[in-house]
Amino acid sequence: MKGSGFIGPVPALVLIAIQSFRAVRTKVRTGSFIDKTNSNFLKENGDWKMENLVPLIGNWYGNTAQVFLFAYAFKFAKLGGLNQGVIPIITLFSALFNAVIFYFAFGERLNCPKAFGMLMAVSCIFCLALDSMEKEAAGGEHSQMIYSFYALGLAFLVPIGFSYKHYVTRRYSDTYNYYDLGLDSGILENLTFSVFSIYLLRTEGFSLSQLFYGGASGLLLALGKVFIAVAVVEGMAGPAQAVMATNSVYMTILTVVVDQ
């Protein structure tokens, strides 16, 4: 969890700078930092849009929990002898959750080519997990099964958060601009991670290279989360999540290369 401190400060500063620039531009154009006719937080009469806290907190939770849960899941996967690329594979369940939830909530139907493509993505990526299940455990007193159970159990909480995040993003897209939602929740998320950077700085310290690489990865994560929000609202939620889950391919390859 302490490692999340590396990815927090730079994205937080960049996202705050972006939103501050937009606020100043609104001030120049309208005379106020907030345009009440097109605000995510204020109604035209000046009242707060309290309902918009739901998608904001939902996105913050889904994104932040992903990092923390994956951090522990990767640790237990290593102890249990699992290829760590198996952990992102669990996020494929959110593609199935999305398809079901969005069908009942928004009437979103998948045609045959999209459903087939999504199932192929799920099937192909899931095959990457098979061989890693046969590895010997790296742990001491605990068995491989115990550590694997911990890893997969924690990882399975991530797609639940993803599907909830995607649902509230689509549900409140009429009142909360989904581009802004990705940026605003990204600020909260990276400020949360920055708390751990303060702890790291005071206890262990970190180099500029660690801050650079962590900041670069954090910015890519923030950008990807904005794009997935756009895909979920403007496109098909199930296939969009299935495509995003192909990162498990890269994670599996990277793990094999690094562990050699």
Mean pLDDT of successive 10-residue segments in the chain (260 residues)? 73 94 92 88 88 94 87 82 72 78 83 70 61 49 72 84 89 91 92 84 76 85 84 73 67 64
**pTM for the predicted model, two decimal places:** 0.79
The three-state secondary structure class of 48 is strand
Domain count, the chain: 1
Q: Which domain holds residue 183?
A: 2-259
Q: What is the pLDDT of residue 136?
A: 46
The three-state secondary structure class of 42 is strand
Distance, CA of 216 to CA of 208 (rounded, Å) = 12
Give which of 103, 94, 104, 131 is closest to 245, Cα–Cα: 94
Distance, CA of 139 to CA of 112 (rounded, Å) = 45
Q: What is the pLDDT of residue 180?
A: 93
